[in-house]
Structure 1
Amino acid sequence: MGFGFFMESISVSNVGLRLRQYWVLTKPRVSQLAVFCAVIGMFLATPGVPPWGTVVAATVGIWLLAAAAFAINCLIEEQIDARMARTAHRPSARGDIGALQIIGMSGVVGGLGMAILYTLVNPLTMWLTFATFVGYAVIYTIILKPRTPQNIVIGGLSGAMPPALGWAAVADSVPAEAWLLVMIIFVWTPPHFWALALYRTRDYEKAGLPMLPITHGAQVTRLHILLYSVALLATTVLPYVIRMSGMFYLVCAVALGAVFIGYAWKLYRHYSDELSRKLFRYSILYLALLFAALLLDHWLPAWT
């Protein structure tokens, strides 16, 4: 009995380890931020509270397709990831999970996500989410990332789509307001990733990827970060300009943007890896707070 219990414990432990490895392939931190932006899009798509059944189904479906896309990304970049300290721990890079297993997992998870979106939400959301999957896993990962230093800029559209997906889930349409949210994330993406690339330049060099700090140098990259930070502030003011949001959001957007530009200016004038890390970490917090401000403003008619 003791031996059987011991073997059963080993089996349970192995299952738990394998599940954790599959979980890592979904890039949970990135997917959580994407799903959060999609949920904000759902709530902004209607004056009141959207149907909870739709919100839950769309959230699950979008997350499943995002998880499938990230798993395929890990498979395609397994050799690149193995050469980078930041990603060498991934089970795909370590060879802990094989290609067929990743493809199978992505197929099951992605297929389930598509089925949920098609049957419980609407076909438009399913097709837009699937197009985002293809854009990220194929166009960005295979075509753009290894070929051009503008990979983050051009390929950023797929990563910027979550608010439009959420909006489509509730409204069954994607109006100009939804695309404005996409534009905000599209402009946010380059300074966010280039801040990471600056303090991970050696990693990207070893991986053979043509990131901007490698092809054009750190000084040019820092200037691009500063310029995009200014453009980001201007872009985030547009929801107020078109009366999509009110004064509460405007104050938050300007304050958050001013801090972003402050980091970018310091980085441009006096570079350090630590400052670059701070900008990268702040950029994640910035996006979450900005979209939270949009939602709060949406529910504060006294400010509009």
Structure 2
Amino acid sequence: MTTLTMTPNRIAQYWALTKPRVTQLAVFCAVIGMFLASPSLPDWHVVVAATIGIWLLAGAAFAVNCLVEREIDSRMARTARRPMARGEITVPQTLLFSGVIGGAGMWVLYTLVNPLTMWLTFATFVGYAVIYTIVLKPATPQNIVIGGLSGAMPPALGWAAVANDVPMQAWILVLIIFVWTPPHFWALALYRRDDYAKSGLPMLPITHGMKITQLHVLLYTIALVATTVLPFAVGMSGLIYLVCAAVLGGIFLRYSWLVYRHYSDVVSRKTFAYSIVYLSLLFAALLVDHYLRF
């Protein structure tokens, strides 16, 4: 019989299955969406319940991802220490864990938030755990572009939690993360190219070469900077956000230009690290602008 034995070491292993650092960024964007959905402070009961529910379902999706990619992870230095790659957690245990926390997340969202948020978050779970991980990732070097929608959904989930609706403004936030994902991920893939070559996955630096990938990083960053003007263009945000977006985007463009014209693994690593800081600060600027305007 499969059980979830909870010793301190085992808890740490299950926690690692949820990819907490990635989950934190996703949930952060969802929480920003919650606050942007209301001109005043949203109901804190809804914020807490939605945060917990979205976190649980995101963790469940990442656990499935670890299960499906356990053999691939074992061949890559970056992921070889993950619990499933090391054989520390079995397939039945992972399935049970994912089912338990995913089911709990759906219950929390349905009963304490609203059905729309639950169904949108469940669709995001399916998009990431099934469509991206199982279908797209091993099939095409454009996997991160096509499958990026599931990773871009958190602001819409947060907005739905508070407003029980997903208006144009929420989809603009989704679009920003969708366009941000390729330069963010391909910067990682560039300096981890040897790892991805061992994995057998058709990642862009392996299938099309370094120079094409470097160009893609630059082009998608240009598209990203243009996309981040949309909140100001539609009246969703004001000058505080616009100035922050311009400064943050200018720095990102500089990094991307260096990746394209003066590539080194150090530059690519710094670009990847900055991309995470960039998205966090961009969404924080949206929040500051939102409340100062109102």
Q: How far has the Cα of 1:91 moved from its partner?
A: 0.5
From 49, 52, 57, the equivalent of 2:41 is 49
Moved more, 293-302 or 234-243: 293-302
Which of 199, 211, 226 is 2:191 aligned to?
A: 199
Aligned-residue CA RMSD (Å): 1.0
Cα deviation digits, residues 40-62 of structure 1 (max 9, x gap): 00000010000000000000000
Look up the SS of the partner of 1:85 in the other structure.
coil
Pair 1:256-2:243 in alignment: no
Q: Deviations over 1:234-272 (max 9, x none)?
A: 000010000100000000000000000000001111110
| Segments of 4+ moved more than 6 angstroms | none
Give the TM-score of the pair, scaled to structure 2: 0.98
Q: Which amino acid aligns with 2:46?
A: T
Q: Hey, what's the Cα distance between the residues in 2 that align with 1:298 and 1:132?
A: 26
CA distance in 1, matches of 2:230, 2:172: 8
CA distance in 2, matches of 1:239, 1:141: 31
Match of 2:91 in 1: 99
Shift of residue 184, structure 1, vs aligned partner: 0.0
Classify the secondary structure of the residue corresponding to 1:299.
Answer: helix
Q: Deviations over 1:196-233 (max 9, x none)?
A: 00001111110100001011100000000000001000
Partner of residue 35 from structure 1, selected from 27, 31, 38:
27
In 2: Cα distance, 1:25 partner to 1:105 partner: 9
Q: What are the Cα deviations for residues 245-302 of structure 1, in whole angstroms up to 9, with x where unaligned?
A: 0000000000000000000001111110010000000000000000000000001128
CA distance in 2, matches of 1:216, 1:103: 35
**Which residue in 1 is equivalent to 2:264?**
272
SS of 2:110's equivalent? helix
Q: 1:247 aligns with which of 234, 239, 245?
A: 239
The one of 190, 203, 226 aligned to 2:218:
226
* Residue of structure 2 equivalent to 1:84: 76
Residues 1:20 and 2:12 are matched in the alignment: yes
Amino acid at match of 1:196: L
User: What residue ranges of structure 2 are gaps of 5+ in the alignment?
Assistant: 1-5
Identity of aligned residues (%): 72
Instruction: Give the whole-Å Cα distance in 2 for the aligned partners of 1:74 and 1:301.
Output: 42
Structure index of larger Rg: 1
Task: For 2:190 and 2:72, locate their aligned partners in 1 and report how far apart those are by CA, in whole Å.
Answer: 18
Larger proportion of helix: 1
Aligned equivalents of 2:142 and 2:94: distance in 1?
Answer: 28
TM-score by length of 1: 0.94
